[in-house]
Amino acid sequence: MSRRRIRLNPYVIARVLPLIVGMVIVAAVCTIASLVGFAGSVAKSLAAKERPLAVIFTPQVLAWKPQLIRWSAAYGLDPNLPATVMQIESCGNPHAVSPSGAQGLFQVMPNHFAAGEDMQDPETNARRGLEYLAESLLQSQGDVRRALAGYNGGHGLIGLDPSQWSAETRRYAYWGDGIFADASGGRGESARLEEWMAAGGESLCSMAD
Protein backbone atom coordinates (compact mmCIF):
# COMPACT_ATOMS: atom_id res chain seq x y z
CA MET A 1 0.00 0.00 0.00
CA SER A 2 1.55 3.24 -1.09
CA ARG A 3 1.58 6.31 1.09
CA ARG A 4 0.24 9.54 -0.24
CA ARG A 5 2.32 12.58 0.46
CA ILE A 6 0.59 15.84 1.14
CA ARG A 7 2.26 18.66 -0.66
CA LEU A 8 1.71 22.09 0.89
CA ASN A 9 1.30 25.00 -1.38
CA PRO A 10 4.20 27.44 -0.73
CA TYR A 11 1.85 30.34 -1.39
CA VAL A 12 -0.56 29.15 1.30
CA ILE A 13 2.30 28.63 3.74
CA ALA A 14 3.59 32.13 3.08
CA ARG A 15 0.14 33.60 3.76
CA VAL A 16 -0.96 31.46 6.73
CA LEU A 17 2.28 31.03 8.68
CA PRO A 18 2.65 34.72 9.63
CA LEU A 19 -0.97 34.73 10.84
CA ILE A 20 -0.36 31.70 13.05
CA VAL A 21 2.85 33.18 14.42
CA GLY A 22 1.06 36.46 15.08
CA MET A 23 -1.76 34.71 16.95
CA VAL A 24 0.75 32.82 19.08
CA ILE A 25 2.60 36.01 19.91
CA VAL A 26 -0.62 37.85 20.83
CA ALA A 27 -1.73 34.96 23.04
CA ALA A 28 1.67 34.91 24.76
CA VAL A 29 1.63 38.66 25.31
CA CYS A 30 -1.89 38.53 26.78
CA THR A 31 -0.90 35.70 29.09
CA ILE A 32 2.19 37.55 30.27
CA ALA A 33 0.19 40.74 30.79
CA SER A 34 -2.38 38.86 32.86
CA LEU A 35 0.33 37.28 34.99
CA VAL A 36 2.06 40.63 35.46
CA GLY A 37 -1.24 42.26 36.43
CA PHE A 38 -2.01 39.50 38.89
CA ALA A 39 1.49 39.67 40.36
CA GLY A 40 1.17 43.43 40.61
CA SER A 41 -2.11 43.13 42.48
CA VAL A 42 -0.63 40.59 44.88
CA ALA A 43 2.46 42.71 45.43
CA LYS A 44 0.30 45.77 46.02
CA SER A 45 -1.81 43.93 48.56
CA LEU A 46 1.25 42.54 50.33
CA ALA A 47 2.87 45.97 50.36
CA ALA A 48 -0.24 47.45 51.95
CA LYS A 49 -0.13 44.76 54.63
CA GLU A 50 3.51 45.57 55.38
CA ARG A 51 3.05 49.31 55.77
CA PRO A 52 2.91 50.25 59.44
CA LEU A 53 0.24 52.49 60.87
CA ALA A 54 1.84 55.67 62.19
CA VAL A 55 1.64 56.59 65.86
CA ILE A 56 0.70 60.20 65.19
CA PHE A 57 -3.05 59.61 65.18
CA THR A 58 -5.22 60.25 68.21
CA PRO A 59 -5.96 57.34 70.59
CA GLN A 60 -9.53 57.15 69.32
CA VAL A 61 -8.25 56.34 65.80
CA LEU A 62 -5.38 54.10 66.92
CA ALA A 63 -7.95 51.96 68.74
CA TRP A 64 -9.02 50.81 65.27
CA LYS A 65 -5.48 49.81 64.22
CA PRO A 66 -6.14 46.09 63.54
CA GLN A 67 -9.23 46.89 61.49
CA LEU A 68 -7.52 49.73 59.62
CA ILE A 69 -4.67 47.46 58.58
CA ARG A 70 -7.07 44.73 57.47
CA TRP A 71 -9.44 47.07 55.65
CA SER A 72 -6.57 48.85 53.90
CA ALA A 73 -5.00 45.61 52.71
CA ALA A 74 -8.28 44.62 51.08
CA TYR A 75 -8.09 47.71 48.85
CA GLY A 76 -4.32 47.91 48.45
CA LEU A 77 -4.15 51.16 50.41
CA ASP A 78 -1.51 52.50 52.74
CA PRO A 79 -3.34 52.18 56.11
CA ASN A 80 -2.27 55.71 56.95
CA LEU A 81 -4.63 57.05 54.27
CA PRO A 82 -7.85 55.48 55.66
CA ALA A 83 -6.61 56.43 59.14
CA THR A 84 -6.23 60.02 57.99
CA VAL A 85 -9.76 60.01 56.59
CA MET A 86 -11.13 58.45 59.77
CA GLN A 87 -9.26 61.03 61.82
CA ILE A 88 -10.76 64.07 60.17
CA GLU A 89 -14.16 62.53 59.43
CA SER A 90 -15.16 61.00 62.77
CA CYS A 91 -12.09 60.72 64.99
CA GLY A 92 -12.95 57.04 65.34
CA ASN A 93 -16.59 57.48 66.37
CA PRO A 94 -18.64 54.76 64.63
CA HIS A 95 -21.89 56.54 65.52
CA ALA A 96 -20.95 59.95 64.14
CA VAL A 97 -23.63 61.61 61.99
CA SER A 98 -23.01 64.90 60.21
CA PRO A 99 -25.63 67.62 59.59
CA SER A 100 -25.69 66.52 55.94
CA GLY A 101 -26.45 62.92 56.96
CA ALA A 102 -23.00 61.37 56.46
CA GLN A 103 -22.64 58.28 58.63
CA GLY A 104 -20.13 56.41 60.75
CA LEU A 105 -16.38 56.07 60.90
CA PHE A 106 -15.77 57.27 57.35
CA GLN A 107 -18.78 59.60 57.14
CA VAL A 108 -20.29 57.89 54.13
CA MET A 109 -23.37 59.44 52.56
CA PRO A 110 -26.55 57.28 52.59
CA ASN A 111 -26.69 56.98 48.78
CA HIS A 112 -23.55 54.81 48.85
CA PHE A 113 -25.25 52.04 50.84
CA ALA A 114 -27.44 49.25 49.56
CA ALA A 115 -30.98 48.95 50.86
CA GLY A 116 -31.08 47.41 54.30
CA GLU A 117 -27.40 47.94 55.12
CA ASP A 118 -26.50 49.22 58.58
CA MET A 119 -24.72 52.46 57.71
CA GLN A 120 -23.03 52.72 61.10
CA ASP A 121 -21.79 49.14 61.23
CA PRO A 122 -17.99 49.54 61.14
CA GLU A 123 -17.41 46.77 58.60
CA THR A 124 -20.12 48.00 56.25
CA ASN A 125 -19.14 51.63 56.67
CA ALA A 126 -15.49 50.84 55.99
CA ARG A 127 -16.34 48.81 52.90
CA ARG A 128 -18.42 51.57 51.36
CA GLY A 129 -16.08 54.34 52.43
CA LEU A 130 -12.88 52.67 51.26
CA GLU A 131 -14.42 51.61 47.96
CA TYR A 132 -15.03 55.29 47.31
CA LEU A 133 -11.61 56.32 48.60
CA ALA A 134 -9.80 53.72 46.49
CA GLU A 135 -11.68 54.85 43.40
CA SER A 136 -10.85 58.46 44.24
CA LEU A 137 -7.15 57.59 44.48
CA LEU A 138 -7.35 55.71 41.18
CA GLN A 139 -8.99 58.61 39.38
CA SER A 140 -6.45 61.06 40.81
CA GLN A 141 -3.62 58.80 39.58
CA GLY A 142 -2.19 58.58 43.08
CA ASP A 143 -2.39 62.28 43.90
CA VAL A 144 -3.43 62.11 47.56
CA ARG A 145 -4.51 65.73 47.80
CA ARG A 146 -6.85 65.39 44.83
CA ALA A 147 -8.04 61.99 46.04
CA LEU A 148 -9.02 63.52 49.38
CA ALA A 149 -10.78 66.37 47.62
CA GLY A 150 -12.71 63.79 45.59
CA TYR A 151 -13.62 61.88 48.73
CA ASN A 152 -14.92 65.02 50.40
CA GLY A 153 -16.69 66.73 47.54
CA GLY A 154 -17.22 64.06 44.90
CA HIS A 155 -15.05 62.54 42.21
CA GLY A 156 -16.03 65.28 39.81
CA LEU A 157 -13.68 67.64 41.66
CA ILE A 158 -10.56 65.59 41.03
CA GLY A 159 -9.83 67.01 37.60
CA LEU A 160 -10.71 70.60 38.49
CA ASP A 161 -8.28 73.30 39.47
CA PRO A 162 -8.18 73.54 43.28
CA SER A 163 -9.35 77.14 43.01
CA GLN A 164 -12.70 75.71 41.89
CA TRP A 165 -13.06 73.56 45.01
CA SER A 166 -15.27 74.79 47.82
CA ALA A 167 -13.60 76.31 50.87
CA GLU A 168 -14.59 73.22 52.86
CA THR A 169 -12.94 70.89 50.35
CA ARG A 170 -9.77 72.99 50.21
CA ARG A 171 -9.51 72.82 54.01
CA TYR A 172 -10.20 69.08 53.96
CA ALA A 173 -7.49 68.45 51.37
CA TYR A 174 -5.08 70.69 53.29
CA TRP A 175 -5.60 68.85 56.58
CA GLY A 176 -5.65 65.40 55.05
CA ASP A 177 -2.68 65.81 52.72
CA GLY A 178 -0.51 67.17 55.51
CA ILE A 179 -1.51 64.56 58.09
CA PHE A 180 -1.01 61.73 55.60
CA ALA A 181 2.41 63.06 54.58
CA ASP A 182 3.53 63.11 58.22
CA ALA A 183 2.09 59.64 58.85
CA SER A 184 3.45 57.94 55.74
CA GLY A 185 6.78 59.66 56.29
CA GLY A 186 7.18 57.85 59.59
CA ARG A 187 7.20 60.93 61.78
CA GLY A 188 6.54 60.61 65.47
CA GLU A 189 4.22 63.62 65.55
CA SER A 190 2.31 65.79 63.11
CA ALA A 191 2.19 69.57 63.19
CA ARG A 192 -0.68 69.44 60.69
CA LEU A 193 -2.67 67.12 62.97
CA GLU A 194 -2.08 69.47 65.90
CA GLU A 195 -3.24 72.35 63.71
CA TRP A 196 -6.38 70.40 62.82
CA MET A 197 -7.03 69.61 66.49
CA ALA A 198 -6.81 73.28 67.41
CA ALA A 199 -9.12 74.23 64.53
CA GLY A 200 -11.98 72.06 65.77
CA GLY A 201 -10.67 68.51 65.86
CA GLU A 202 -10.60 68.43 69.64
CA SER A 203 -14.33 68.99 69.74
CA LEU A 204 -14.92 66.16 67.26
CA CYS A 205 -12.65 63.79 69.19
CA SER A 206 -14.35 64.60 72.49
CA MET A 207 -17.50 62.98 71.07
CA ALA A 208 -15.58 59.81 70.21
CA ASP A 209 -14.36 59.15 73.76
Give me the phi and psi of 97, to 5 degrees please.
Answer: -135, 125
Q: Is 169 helix (H, G, I), strand (E, B) or coil?
A: helix
The pLDDT of residue 36 is 42
Q: Is 8 helix (H, G, I), strand (E, B) or coil?
A: coil
* pLDDT single digits (tens) 157-198: 999 999 999 999 999 999 999 999 999 999 999 999 999 999
The pLDDT of residue 179 is 98
The pLDDT of residue 126 is 98
**What is the reported pTM?**
0.77
The pLDDT of residue 70 is 97
Q: Which amino acid, residue 15?
A: R
List, for the chain, all residue ranges whose pLDDT scores fall below the cut of 70. 1-50
The pLDDT of residue 43 is 43
* pLDDT single digits (tens) 30-49: 455 454 454 444 444 444 44
The pLDDT of residue 51 is 76
The pLDDT of residue 69 is 97
The pLDDT of residue 17 is 59
Q: Rounding to the nearest 10 degrees, give the CA dihedral for residues 197, 187, 171, 87.
A: -60
